[in-house]
């Protein structure tokens, strides 16, 4: 029931043709995520000539980590197989995840790479520790991955998230498979660290991963930017091309909500645009206008739980 997506097309009456594509996987603490959270991101990027696809996925308690990952995996595969019918270029697709969406999309990318390359899986069997079905796409079809305010090391983040209100018992339930909590198995950082420890086994996995850009606000209290910095370091040690961009004054939600509503300073859209269309001069500030008065935005930042 949640295998749906929203398409944000460039304005104009002419049918789009061969546009670069951004697949967006929203956050929401694995509980309140919804594809509509990507509407502002889609609105801004579509004006820059990018076709944005916002994926949906089951949230807890409708699904746990396995079901969420399956939905993201299915969504990515659908986009890669069908986006040409909607004017997108299947050879120019960027995968973007925010917060919990960055966790799920990066994990889906690693799962896909391992399934495509390792003959009998990472544990010597065809079955994934997450029980994911065979994928219908390849990580080589993804031009780049952009993680925004992402959760990459669930083991190290669990106590911090508990202090922030996502209680450990609830997190363990969300991140469980067949009644077993598996924070290490579902942590992208832990996955990549195994590539560092056993480079001979995982070299082919690393070789098929796309370049990674990690965007994070230094004022993010929900997921401190140091976690993204450490994830980037592990990726580099494994041999993955990484670009880390950390912004002063940005919180967990400002890149996705408040800045687009201000109509200027939209570093998320500009960062993604620089990855997917590096040759284009950004017109993000020029093409957008303020949607909400600044006092209301500041009030929203004060009451936001994120």
Overall residue count recorded for the chain in this entry: 306
For the four alpha carbons of 44, 47, 49 and 54, in that order, the dihedral sign comes to positive
**What is the rounded CA–CA span in Å between residue 156 and residue 24?**
25
Sort strands 212-217 and 242-247 into parallel, antiparallel or unpaired. parallel
Q: N- to C-terminal Cα distance for the chain?
A: 27
As annotated, the active-site residues are 99, 220, 252
DSSP assignment string, 84-147 = GGGTEEEEEEEEEEETHHHHHHHHHHHHHHHHHH-TT-TTSSSS-TT-PPPPSS-GGG-SEEEE
Sort strands 144-148 and 88-98 into parallel, antiparallel or unpaired. parallel
């Amino acid at each position: 029931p949640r295998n749906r997506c929203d398409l944000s097309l460039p304005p104009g009456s002419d049918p789009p043709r061969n546009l670069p594509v951004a697949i967006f996987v929203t956050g929401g603490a694995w509980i309140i995520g919804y594809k509509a959270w990507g509407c502002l991101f889609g609105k801004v990027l579509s004006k820059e000539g990018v076709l944005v696809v916002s994926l949906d996925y089951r949230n807890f308690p409708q699904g746990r980590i396995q079901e969420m990952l399956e939905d993201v995996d299915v969504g990515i595969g659908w986009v890669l197989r069908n986006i040409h019918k909607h004017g997108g270029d299947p050879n120019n697709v960027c995968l973007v995840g925010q917060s919990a969406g960055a966790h799920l999309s990066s994990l889906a990318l690693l799962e896909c790479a391992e399934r495509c390359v390792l003959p009998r899986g990472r544990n010597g069997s065809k079955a994934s520790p997450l029980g994911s079905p065979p994928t219908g796409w390849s990580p080589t079809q993804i031009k780049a991955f952009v993680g925004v305010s992402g959760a990459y090391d669930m083991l190290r983040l669990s106590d911090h998230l508990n202090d922030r209100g996502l209680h450990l018992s609830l997190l363990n339930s969300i991140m469980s498979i067949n009644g077993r909590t598996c924070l290490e198995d579902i942590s992208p950082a832990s996955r990549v660290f195994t590539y560092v420890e056993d480079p001979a086994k995982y070299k082919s996995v690393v070789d098929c991963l796309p370049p990674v850009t990690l965007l994070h606000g230094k004022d993010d209290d929900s997921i401190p930017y140091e976690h993204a910095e450490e994830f980037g370091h592990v990726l580099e040690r494994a041999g993955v091309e990484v670009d880390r961009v950390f912004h002063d004054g940005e919180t967990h939600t400002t890149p996705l909500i408040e800045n687009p509503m201000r109509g200027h300073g939209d570093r998320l859209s500009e960062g993604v645009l620089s990855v997917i269309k590096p040759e284009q001069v950004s017109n993000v500030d020029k093409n957008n206008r303020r949607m909400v008065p600044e006092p209301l935005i500041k009030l929203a930042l004060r009451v936001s739980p994120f």
